Chain A
Amino acid sequence: MQAKALRVVCLAVALLAVGVPLFGHHGSNPNYAWDKRITVNGVVTEFAFSYPHVSIYFDVKDDKGNIQHWSSELGPTPIMMRNWGVGWSRNAIKPGDQISLTCAPTKIPSTTCQGKKIIVNGKEMPLSDPKGGEAKE
């Protein structure tokens, strides 16, 4: 069992070495600053549990009260479909829900980011590990 776990770790290290994308696999990766994080709070306008990636659209109020329309890709849809026992489905997030999204920003200033951790109405919805925490790349 221990050896099996070790091999899983080895495989992960090997994949890291060759740069095989596991998350955000559908060609959006070049947009993001992987080593940076921002947290954005807003109100959901649409949740799309569709291909190529589950994505979420939400409104964010800036310091002056102006509304910005944000978008974020969460995970590859089939991986999100695995459910992880946390209830992901097309109805998991609804318009009007309050979210706090920690995400990798784009390299240029924009209103898009790639979700790494999402809290919906005060409750974390795991993006990859059922125990929570940041989504794996």
Chain B
Amino acid sequence: MRSVLMAWIAALACWSTAFAQTAPAPAAAKAKASSAPFDPHDLNGVWYRTTPIQTFSNVYNVQPDLPPNLAGARGRGTVFAEAPFTPAGKAALEKNKPGYGPRVVPPAFGNDPMGTCDPLGIPRNLNAEVGSSHTTWWILQTKDLFIQFFQWHHDHRIVWTDGRSLPKTDDLDPKWNGYSVGHWDGNTFVVDSIGFDARTWLDKFGYPHTENMKLQERYRRLDHDTLELTMTLTDPEYYSRPWESDRKLFKLNGSPIKEFPVGEPFVKNWDQQVYCAPSEEFKFNEKVRDNGAGKPSTQ
């Protein structure tokens, strides 16, 4: 645990030093980015997540006395601020066996929907949960629609912006991405959603939700290059109060239909078509994940 603390201290000290040494430079860079003209109601573009949290809402803490079973996949001793679970919510969490985080199990013995190529759904898609070049979404806005394409799992969702209201939950069949309507509250784009399929997880740590979850997303373009997203879910059966996500920031890469800067891999490789193809996933599960965890082959 000491090594984790030292790593944190080193990271913080390092970061402080980096900015202390060059105080004028980042300010100038920021000013340059901020001064570029932009329309706060225009969210079009490819956005990639720059904040580190890959889950719905986890605050990293370091506990020196962390027991081994909470030490994470690599024993680095990170734990997370817990959600405001009800007893039913906590019980639902325990049924979910993720391949990541403080409750990690080998994927061969887990039940992450991703392992069977089930859709990730909303809000999980919004987390941009991977740590590589496909940590992106692409927003396309029209007068009546707001569409997000997700690089990871090559999915998309639709937000209706034609002035319609949310239907009653009882009138909806649950859907992987729910049913969403959006409107502008000043310069904040507000998306309200209901009608979710409870088979999806909130995130890769296996946090659950019911079909009655209501989700509100709030998008705000802070400057030309920066988009902020915060989310609040309301799901009284599993969470005792509305639960807010962390503040997620995304950086603009430009539109994928324009020319891109050479040497920017995440842009150059935008159309990676990262499908979860069952034939590929299941083979990988059997040959690598299951074999490596000692799970007998079912073939």
Contact = CB atoms under 8 A, between A and B. Distances in A.
B289 A28 contact: yes
Contact of B107 (A14, A19, A27): A27
A57 B52 CA distance: 33
Q: Which of A3, A14, A22, A30 is packed against the most chain B CB atoms within 10 Å?
A: A30
A78 B136 CA distance: 12
Contacts of A50: 277, 280
A52 B281 contact: yes
Q: How large is the interface on B (under 10, 10 to 19, 20 to 34, 35 or more residues)?
A: 35 or more
B133 A78 contact: yes
A106 interface: yes
Nearest to B25: A3
B14 interface: yes
Contacts of A52: 276, 280-281, 284
Interface of A: 3, 6-7, 9-10, 13-22, 25-32, 34, 48, 50-53, 55, 57, 71-73, 76-79, 81-82, 106, 108, 110-113
A56 B10 CA distance: 37
Interface stretch (B97-105, B158-166, B225-233): B97-105
21 contacts: A3-B21, A6-B17, A7-B18, A7-B19, A13-B7, A18-B52, A18-B78, A19-B76, A25-B130, A27-B110, A28-B289, A29-B73, A29-B74, A30-B73, A30-B106, A32-B292, A73-B284, A77-B272, A82-B269, A108-B292, A110-B294
A27 B284 contact: no
B291 A78 contact: no
Interface of B: 4, 7-8, 10-11, 14-15, 17-19, 21-22, 25, 52, 54, 60, 62, 72-74, 76, 78, 98-100, 104-108, 110, 112, 114-115, 130-134, 204, 265, 269, 272, 274-277, 280-281, 283-284, 287-289, 291-294
B292 A27 contact: no
